[in-house]
A and B are shown apart, each in its own frame.
Chain A
Amino acid sequence: MSAAVSATGIRTGTPSLPARWAGDGWTVTKRNLIKIKRSPDMIIFAVLQPIMFVLLFSQVYGGSIAVAGTDYTQFLMAGIFAQTVVFGSTFSGSAMAQDLKEGIIDRFRTLPMSPSAVLIGRTNADLALNGISMLIMMGTGLLVGWRVNSTPGRFLAALALLLLFSYAFSWVMALLGMTVRSPETINNASFMILFPITFISNAFVQSSNLPGPLQTFADWNPVSALVQAVRELFGNLGSAPVPDTWPMQNAVATVLIGSAVMLVVFVPLAVRKFESISSR
């Protein structure tokens, strides 16, 4: 590959494309991990939110919500896992908007780096934060009596599905963040999306208990498919019949296809958007 020598003699090698892609992505990932380490509010969110939700739902609602064939805590955990990682993905939206506002995107865009690196670094950081949240949730869940009733392989597959779905969703949020451009707006906007898609689902109650239109929404909601898939793989399903919609009947496939579609559509869109944005 070519190697340019600048006027004053520093060699700036041009690594091959995949090496640059990975290297630049890792450089920006490291930047975001340092940021996480130094912003206590993000860690608190990642650690306390799952603890709070697990305790709140299992202890407060656990006694009042009946689930056929299992106790509420077993039923609940897949829902909380899904909700937490989906919420965690939204950091990419506000972080991209924040970087744009602070002008550092302009710095990145004038460097000879891979145009996808900032987005890869951003979405990787969400993945790391979600990984931490999941560990905390597992610990809290075990404390309140949650047990996995399947094989280690199926358990790991469930965690992988959660991370895959949330990673793909991070790219959607990153594009949204670059489009909306205001960190405050994106925070408000993402809650308007997150609350319906996580609460009008099977995450906290069986969808059969929901009134007509909400039930239909819940049974087609991709977050429901994620919850359903994770619940199956954890071995935490109750005895109630699985709703008769394709996504719910084929939950794992739905999550895999849905994640792939999000990645195929939103990765190129987000990279293209990144190549044309500038602060102000």
Chain B
Amino acid sequence: MSFSPQSAPLISAEGLTKVYSSKSGPVHALDGLDIAVPEGTVTALLGPNGAGKTTAVKVLTTLIRPDSGTAVIDGINVLTDPKAVRRVIGVSGQYSAVDENLTGIENLDMVGHLYHLPARRAKERAIELIDMFELSDAGNRPVKGYSGGMRRRLDLAGALVNQPRVLFLDEPTTGLDPRSRIALWGVITDLVARGTTLLLTTQYLEEADQLADKVAVIDEGKVIAEGTSDDLKAQIGGHRVAVALHRQEDADEALSILGRHGSGDPHVSGDGRTLEVAVVDGPAALQRILSELEAGSIELHDAGIRRPTLDDVFLQLTGKPAEEDSETEKEEAHR
């Protein structure tokens, strides 16, 4: 057991680069990525599809070699001693890495054997985890018949067989229904409370907010913003106030009202009638904006506040939306 000071990063990476060749030329999956996760804390890598999140996790978990850069986990060099790294980490990937034909217990028992636990201990641990993840009823059934949420839980259980000090979760809740997502968040929160150091990736700002002490926003293979969830929200504004105008002629006046109460520049969406602005204090700002709009006799179709999403983060940080493939959205955002 190591007694590193609380602040020493248990996971650290510096200057990671990885270039893939594709039909349309080289793709810089990682372009100088730096990460530092102190012991006992949770860091979320937040970014859209293709930002390099999965590549980063694969490098740190010994699955792929970077073109350059260094990665150290619990004092072990990932590039020169991958086998030693594998003894201290647990990994749950984006696609449930479980065997369809084996039962839940058989899957976990196999993983226990491959960690070289004594046979009896491997079996015990499998049953413990099946109970912990509320899969007891399905534990002796082949995974084939499991739902998506059950598979995710089993896969996460697989990452915990060896009670790892360092856990990597690549988009743990992508594709899950809201109930399963919240249940999985509960499990992850428990693990972290017991001292597991966690690096997770996500496309959901809300998930990063719920689980992480620190959020690193990544885009095109590097970190473009970093800080606590609160820092990030302060930077991008806590909530969004959106109003839909009845008459387009009111847009200029409404825009200036929103501008006065917002923490950033307001913007107009595609139809020219929906205006939106980031605000610090959501409900109060909405009230002030509504009363000023009323005073200016600007009629509204609709008005409301919403939480910021990954799209807002990206819009704020990069001036472009998160989804790379939607050219029309990009044009609209700049209009």
Interface of A toward B, CB cutoff 8 Å: 4-10, 12-15, 20, 23-24, 27-28, 30-31, 34-35, 38-39, 102-113, 117, 276, 278-280
A198 to B95, CA, bound (A): 38
Residue of A35, A103, A117 touching B93 (CB-CB under 8 A): A103
The answer, yes or no, to whether B19 is at the interface (CB within 8 Å) is: no
Residue of A31, A108, A110 touching B102 (CB-CB under 8 A): A31
Does B101 lie within 8 Å of A35, measured CB to CB?
yes
Majority secondary structure of chain B interface residues (helix, strand, loop or mixed): loop
Interface of B toward A, CB cutoff 8 Å: 1, 54, 58, 61-65, 83-84, 86-89, 91, 93-102, 106, 110-111, 113-118, 121, 125, 142, 155, 158, 162-165, 194-195
B194 contact set on A, CB distance < 8 A: 8
A4 to B84, CA, bound (A): 10
A104 to B88, CA, bound (A): 19
Does B86 lie within 8 Å of A112, measured CB to CB?
yes
- Nearest 5 Cβ contacts at the A-B interface: A107-B97, A103-B95, A112-B86, A8-B163, A35-B101
Does B163 lie within 8 Å of A7, measured CB to CB?
yes
A12 contact set on B, CB distance < 8 A: 87, 115-117, 162
A53 to B87, CA, bound (A): 49
Task: Using known A-B contacts A10-B117, A107-B97, determine if residue A278 contacts B86 with beta carbons closer than 8 Å.
Answer: no
A34 to B1, CA, bound (A): 37
Residue of B1, B96, B100, B116 touching A5 (CB-CB under 8 A): B1
A113 to B64, CA, bound (A): 17
**A248 to chain B: closest CB distance in Å?**
42
A112 to B97, CA, bound (A): 16
A10 contact set on B, CB distance < 8 A: 117, 121, 125, 162-163
Interface CB pairs A-B, < 8 A, 23: A5-B1, A6-B163, A12-B87, A13-B116, A15-B116, A27-B113, A27-B114, A28-B114, A31-B102, A34-B101, A102-B97, A103-B95, A103-B97, A104-B98, A104-B99, A105-B97, A106-B93, A110-B61, A110-B89, A110-B91, A117-B114, A278-B64, A279-B93
Does A106 lie within 8 Å of B117, measured CB to CB?
no
